[in-house]
Structure 1
Amino acid sequence: MAVEWGQAKIEVTALRDEILDRVNDGWPIRRIYDEFKAAGKITMSERRFYHYAEQLSAQMEPKKLTQGLPARPHLVPTAPTPTTLVKQNSSASKAAPTLAPAPAAPARSSLEGLPHEDQADFKALWSGKK
C-alpha cells in the first residue's frame, strides 16, 4: 500500500499525547504500535513508528519520563563518610559535633604468625636466594 510522503510524521504528531501517555504508563512501544495499527490510527511501518517514538521520548523532559516510577531509596546515601561531621540534635544536648568513625588500621604482615625459621625460609625463597 503506497503511503503519501510525510504521512507517518503527520500521524505521529496527531497521536503524540496518546503515545507519550502510554510510554509514561510503561507500555512497550510494540504494544502501542499494535493497538494503533489495529484501530486504523496509523498506516506506517513498525520500524518508522519506533523511529518517531524514540524521537518523542528524547524530546520529553526527564521528570516526565520517570514520573510514576517507584522510589529507589537504596540509591540515596544514608551513612556519613569518615570525614563528615555528625551533628547531634541541638535540643537534646549541647555537646560538640563528633567525627564519624575512622577507617580500620591497616592489616599486619602475614609473616608475623609464622615461626621464625619459616619466616627466614620464606624470605630467602622470595628474594631468590634459595
Structure 2
Amino acid sequence: MRYPDAVAGVKVSSGDWSNQRALIGVFAKEGVELSPPSEALLSAVLPLGAAGCISATAYVKPGNIAQLCERWQDEHASSLREMMTHMRKTVRSLSDDSPKVAEQWRSRRCQLAESETKRRQV
C-alpha cells in the first residue's frame, strides 16, 4: 500500500463486478476496507473481505445493514437480504420520481412568486 496512513477505505462503484471482485481481493489483504455502493452486493462481497457498503439506504435502515454485515452467514441472513432488497427498491422508486417532484416544486414556487408580485402591485 502506497499511502497506508492516508487511505483507510475505498468505495468501489465502477459497476463492473469482475473489477470490484479483483479490487476487494487485492486490497482487503492489505488492510484497506473496500465497500460496494449498495447493500445488494453484501452477500457476494463480504466473503471476499469487503468491509460493508456505502449506500444511501443506510440513512433509512442503518441497523438492518449493520445486522446483515454481522450476520451474513447465519440462518437469518436471507430474510435480512430480502428486507433490504425491498427497502432498496422503495428508496430507488422515490429517487426515480425526484426530477418530477423538483419540477413540480419549481413550478409551484414560480406560481407563488407571481401571486406575490401581483398582490404587491395592487
- TM-score interval (norm. to shorter): under 0.3
Larger helix percent: 2
TM-score between both structures, scaled by the size of structure 2: 0.28
TM-score between both structures, scaled by the size of structure 1: 0.27
Larger radius of gyration: 1
